[in-house]
Amino acid sequence: MKYLFPMTMAFLAICCTSVRGDTLLLSEPFPAGELKTELKNGARFQALPEGGWRFIPGNKPEKYVLTIPAEPKEFRFYNQLELEIDNPNDDARLEVIVDAVKPKHGDIGKRTLRLDKGTKKYQVHLGGVGQPVQLSQLRLTVLHTPEAKQEKDISVVEKPITVKSLLLNAKDYNFGAMRKSIPARLNSPLPDGFSAEAVKAAEAKRAELLPVAGKLMDQVKKSSLNRAEKEKRLARIYDLRDFGDWQVQYAAFCVDAATSPLYGWTGGADKILRDGAFPGAIGGTVKVSLARNETEAAQIALYSARDLNRVSVSVSEFRNEAGESFPADAITVTPVGYVKTTAPAYFSEYAPYALPDPLLGYLKEFDVEKERFQPVWLEFSASKTQAPGVYRGSVKFRGNGEELFSVPVEVTVHKFTLPDRMTFPAVVSSGIFNSPLYEEDAEARREFEAYMYDENGGDPSKLSPAAQRLVRINDELFRMLNDHRITYQDIYRSTRRVIPGWRRRNINRYNSLYCLGYDNDRNVMANFGKQFREMRKEGTAGRAYVYGNDEIRTSDKRAFANMKKSYGALKKAFPELKTMATALDYSFGEKTDTTEEVDIWVVPPGVYLNERAAAERARKRGKQVWYYPCNWPYPPDANLLLESRATATRLIIGFMPWKFKADGFLYYSAGMLARQVRTDSLLGKWEPAGDVETVTDAPWDFNSSYRLRTSGEPKRDYAALSRWTMLPKNPAKPLIAEFEVLPEKFTSGKGAAFTVEVRLNYLNGKTDRNFLEVDPEKKEWQKVRKEIKIAAPIRNMLYAFRLKSPDASVQIRNVKLYQEGEYSDRRLAADKLLSGGPVFDESYCYSMFRSNGDGTLFYPGPDGVLPSLRLKFLRDGLEDYEYLVLLRNAAGQVKDGRLRVADRDGWLKQAEELLKVDDAVCRGLSRYAKTGATLLEYREKIAGLLDQAQK
């Protein structure tokens, strides 16, 4: 799932349309670097002396790609690429793609041009105007497809095409929208609670700024202004577009925080930026509302004109008017951490900010930077027996050695109760957490894993201390996920390793579904046969599903045939078993003849919304249709990314699936813990052969240490560790190979040897075999380093350690292969635990395919995992969905007279309206409530009706 949709789809919707020829504000040539081409069949690209490029077609139909690298240069204001093209052909098409470094690997412009005959100018819209953008390259693909299936796709290029010029333009065609959006942002209401003097200062700033944008837009069109003056005015315009509301608020904060710190608060459905517009109220009483058997939170943010040091938080007793208490152990207060993000594959309103996400339970004291918000997450968990009513207490803050303030808090517990098991099926895959971050010793990790997969569960006290620690961390992780309404699921575990009975029974307590693994094993029938006998005895067989066929495409007929065969056999042998697939057949089996074999179809959210008619047909056949987000869709579409709004993450698993009638929700990973890393290493995961023991297992596989062993037994006299590596970036620089080796034991004999080879296979067919010398008779650690010159363009490279001996043992560590000063971007496992805070640099930004936060919903803390805000939003969304389930059930009982409410008809009318989910809350994947207040107010209306309907 994580490989879906690498392009910035939000941009494609706007990049394929023509743009108006409005006022030209700025223009400059595309900063072209040295030409790169992919040539086939005699085709040629030529750089012309007078500027531009000419394409000369080859001798057969083909796609030809011209890549023009961009010189490193950042810009903010260009929103159009203009191409002047001379085309002598009758039916020719040219695909134009503009790639960027920021956003990383993002297609900020894409359009397929149907070229007119003769010389003409064409425009491609560029996304992200007003945000810092750095181009990486321009790709021009000449399409020569005379036998296209549809006439509109025919492209015949038999004569040379000339691209005469490339220009980056800043046009004013977005000014019309900004003339409305900037005043709207500047007119955003101030948070409640400011003093009269602060409000006066803010209104003065608002009055000052409101006419500015319009004046600047008019001024920047004047040809009399030089380039520097135009860029200065444009920068001011876009700052008002992006930060105008904060500039107004900041004037008020400067007044009220001038003499002493202050606090603001909001609910659990907002993200509080450190230096952005505040979404809640200033001062006053914090209010939280929840049902029984529910958890809900508020956020209290400190703000100060000076730095605050060693801030601590304490919580008082909470009691209602009858003197009943809200238990202290059901209240937690946790500092919110902030992560600076890596450049994502998309533009985002949050691009300039560090983003709130890790909840730092280990941080008992923290500092607050001046003129920056620092929130704490205040959470209340009501039991099923908690007495309804309003509980009052306070939260006290101390800092700089003195009490800062005591914040009054009201907690309303409603009369109704949420169930233990959620109605809406939500699968968030986690698996067991066996990270080398907590234990590098490979033997301890193997011991832990054997325990976790024991059918009946062993005695943890008999494990080594290191393995016991891993068990404890996993127990805490499972408990944390369960507390957030998320049960253990492992959709990518091979079916060759069955889920043990003790975990099946544990999952069964909390969820209606659990995964038996990924369907990729030949012996799946035998494995399931043993497992199903036990499952039928314990009554869990009907809740099991098998996952597989991840994102296979309809063009791969063999893959669908295999799915039909495998799933068909499983369903025949085990009728209770559900089959689930993210196979990309958006007719849900109709196109691929798999309507009967798949029980649960899971598709991307955008596809689901576009294919609801096909989904309804599938439901009539007794099937379910779920949706899943992953690294896509990009903001502003709802997702679980760091740049997704809090409401978006809460809605995508809550009110959205209710409104759009999705049958379930799937997310591929809660603990991927991978991040984008700039590294010089060309190594990756090693491939062992023979007896290879992992001695210490580092987070990055190539940093681990290993032991190669041989013995006199038949076919046990050989062991090896090898890796086909990444290709070097700079052929002019030598490769550097390094490692350390300890020959613990070595027996000489015929052919006995320990060899280390770096092999370079060149594109010209030649090979360089470079051997690094080691003395296998020397029983001490040896450091080895060798520089290897590159003689020609490389096809591939191999790094290999080989041990051949009747009886030997050799340790290897600190293996490296790199070029001095040459770095590349790679995705690697997290290599360090969180400590300190509350602000963290980019090395703690976990990212998949440049989608920040994707696949990771918890963080590795100093002594165990830490929840994220996004995990909280998911839990709250599932509980929001349950509000609607309870209201639907109550409405049915009121209709048939089993429940009595005052003003029955009025109550039913309100319930029917609320069950539709108002468009103001969510209307589509990208159209939803942007502030938590809108969502929480709607939720409170549901709660009010449910309270009236309690017996």
What confidence score (pLDDT) does residue 351 get?
Answer: 85
Token pair listed for 649: 């993450």
> What value does the mean pLDDT take over residues 222-239?
94
**In Å, how far are 513, 545, 546, 595 from 580, measured between CA atoms?**
11, 7, 6, 12
Over residues 547-575, the pLDDT tens digits come to 999 999 999 999 999 999 999 999 999 99
| Look-up of token digits 């093209």 | 85
Query: What's the one-letter identity of residue 762?
Result: Y
* Separation CA 588–CA 618 (nearest Å): 6
Cβ count near 855 (within 10 Å)? 23
Token pair listed for 724: 């086909």
Q: Is residue 733's pLDDT more than 50? A: yes
| Look-up of token digits 């987070």 | 699
- Asked if residues 66 and 83 have their Cβ atoms less than 8 Å apart, the reply is no
What confidence score (pLDDT) does residue 663 get?
Answer: 97
Token pair listed for 432: 């067991």
Q: 128-139: string of b/e by CB count within 10 Å (b at 16+)?
A: bbbbebbbbbbb
> What value does the mean pLDDT take over residues 27-41?
79
- Asked if residues 581 and 549 have their Cβ atoms less than 8 Å apart, the reply is yes
Q: What percent of the chain has pLDDT over 90?
A: 75
What confidence score (pLDDT) does residue 4 get?
Answer: 37
Helical (H) or strand (E) element with 182: helix 175-186
Task: Establish how many alpha carbons lie within 13 A of residue 98's alpha carbon, considering only the half-sphere containing its beta carbon.
Answer: 31
* Separation CA 135–CA 132 (nearest Å): 10
The mean pLDDT value of the chain amounts to 91
* Separation CA 734–CA 107 (nearest Å): 33
| Look-up of token digits 């007279």 | 897
What confidence score (pLDDT) does residue 49 get?
Answer: 86
What confidence score (pLDDT) does residue 607 get?
Answer: 97
Over residues 58-68, the pLDDT tens digits come to 877 778 888 88
* Separation CA 687–CA 840 (nearest Å): 34
Over residues 386-430, the pLDDT tens digits come to 999 999 999 999 999 999 999 999 999 999 999 999 999 999 999
Q: Which residues, including other chains, have CB under 8 Å from residue 811's CB and lie 6 or more apart?
A: 695, 705, 706, 707, 741, 742, 744
| Four-CA torsion 336, 341, 345, 348, nearest 10 degrees | 60
Query: What's the one-letter identity of residue 717?
Result: D
Task: Establish how many alpha carbons lie within 13 A of residue 238's alpha carbon, considering only the half-sphere containing its beta carbon.
Answer: 19
What confidence score (pLDDT) does residue 457 get?
Answer: 76
Full DSSP string of 521-554: -TTHHHHHHHHHHHHHHHT-GGGEEEEE-TT-BT
SS3 79: coil
Q: Give the CA diameter of the chain.
A: 97
